[in-house]
């Protein structure tokens, strides 16, 4: 009987974390985001080796991604996955710190607003979409970290957010090698209309949205982002997809 009671108490604790998240507010202070000239705005890699011309930098990217077909159109980041950015991400994913997650989203929105192309951005034709998290993992951790970061982005930019993708459960990425991550079968797909609520335009009009802000915490191999982009384009045609991530590896 005691084991059943202990199991029930654990389930209640998990449910409380899922509903309330961290109740202590931001748990750590955040570092200063990288300068917008510090990384390639196409792939997110450090700007070392980027073409000298700013026009080439904007249009073609860096030597790492030049000539490479990417699923996303642009990548905006705050820093690299080390030291304090890593600490912040772990505080959100494993500490349930919703306040910190939304502050990261706000910083990502500001980082985007400083880029050249942001000046021609039309808010009415955009939507924020978080990378989905399997339900079992969301319940286990007590937080959907990408969604919470996306909430911060959505509020800072003043545009709507849609949870219109779903993710099949599988091994945690940290347990996979880089090659295994890149070779994984498609596990992200567009939700059926009955599973989510949003503006009817997203359900019926493929041309309603010109820009998608796809939000996640870390960009490693880009395989998860590529699957999400494929799911989005299979449903909405060919919008511009801007990847917003806290850090790249």
**Whether 226 contacts 199, CB under 8 Å:** no
Place of tokens 């939507």: 127
SS3 content of the chain, % helix, strand, coil (to 5): 45, 15, 40
Tens-digit pLDDT profile for residues 148-195: 999 999 999 999 999 999 998 765 555 545 555 554 557 899 987 644
Is a pLDDT exceeding 80 seen at residue 122?
A: no
Phi/psi at 161 (5° precision): -120, 140
Model confidence, pTM: 0.80
**Whether 107 contacts 78, CB under 8 Å:** yes
Identify the three-state secondary structure at position 113.
Answer: helix
pLDDT at 175: 55
* Structure-block tokens of residue 83: 């030291």
Q: How confident is the model at residue 2 (pLDDT cuts 50, 70, 90)?
A: low
Is a pLDDT exceeding 60 seen at residue 96?
A: yes
User: Could you tell me the domains of the chain?
Assistant: 2-248 (3.40.50)
Is a pLDDT exceeding 50 seen at residue 105?
A: yes
Q: Average pLDDT, stretch 11-27?
A: 52
Tens-digit pLDDT profile for residues 229-245: 999 999 888 899 999 99
pLDDT at 135: 87
Place of tokens 């490693």: 220
202 vs 235: CA distance, rounded Å: 9
Query: In the chain, pLDDT over 70 holds for what percent of residues?
Result: 71
What are all long-range contacts of 62-65, with beta carbons under 8 Å and residues at least 24 apart?
Answer: 64/40, 65/40
State the angle between helix axes of 83-93 and 98-113 in degrees (0 to 180), rounded to the nearest 10: 130
Identify the three-state secondary structure at position 139.
Answer: helix
Dihedral sign for Cα atoms in the order 210, 215, 219, 221: negative
119 vs 121: CA distance, rounded Å: 6
The CA-CA-CA angle for residues 52, 70, 234, to 5°, reads 145
Q: How confident is the model at residue 211 (pLDDT cuts 50, 70, 90)?
A: very high
Is a pLDDT exceeding 60 seen at residue 219?
A: yes
Is a pLDDT exceeding 80 seen at residue 7?
A: no
235 vs 219: CA distance, rounded Å: 23
Name the least confident of 24-38, 67-81, 187-201: 187-201
pLDDT at 23: 44
Average pLDDT, the chain: 81
Q: What residue spans of the chain are helical by DSSP H?
A: 2-20, 54-60, 83-93, 98-113, 135-141, 145-157, 178-183, 200-204, 223-236
191 vs 173: CA distance, rounded Å: 22
Phi/psi at 28 (5° precision): -140, 165
**Whether 196 contacts 164, CB under 8 Å:** yes
């Amino acid at each position: 009987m005691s084991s059943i009671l202990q199991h029930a108490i654990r389930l209640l604790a998990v449910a409380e974390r899922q509903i309330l998240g961290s109740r202590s507010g931001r748990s750590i202070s955040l570092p200063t985001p990288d300068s917008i000239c510090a990384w390639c705005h196409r792939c997110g890699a450090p700007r070392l080796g980027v073409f000298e011309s700013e026009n080439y930098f904007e249009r073609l990217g860096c030597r790492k991604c030049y000539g490479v077909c990417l699923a996303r159109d642009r990548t905006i980041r705050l820093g690299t996955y080390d030291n304090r950015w890593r600490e912040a991400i772990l505080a959100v994913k494993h500490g349930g710190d919703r306040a910190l997650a939304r502050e990261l989203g706000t910083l990502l929105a500001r980082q985007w607003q400083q880029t050249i192309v942001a000046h021609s951005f039309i808010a009415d034709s955009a939507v924020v979409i978080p990378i989905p998290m399997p339900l079992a993992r969301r319940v286990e951790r007590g937080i959907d970290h990408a969604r919470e970061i996306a909430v911060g982005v959505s509020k800072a930019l003043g545009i709507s957010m849609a949870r219109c993708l779903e993710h099949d459960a599988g091994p945690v990425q940290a347990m996979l090698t880089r090659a295994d991550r890149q070779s994984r079968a498609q596990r992200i797909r567009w939700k059926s209309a009955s599973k989510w609520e949003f503006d009817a335009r997203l359900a019926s009009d493929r041309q309603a949205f010109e820009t998608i802000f796809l939000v996640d915490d870390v960009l490693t191999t880009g395989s998860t982002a590529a699957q999400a982009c494929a799911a989005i384009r299979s449903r909405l045609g060919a919008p511009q997809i801007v990847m917003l991530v806290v850090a790249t590896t």
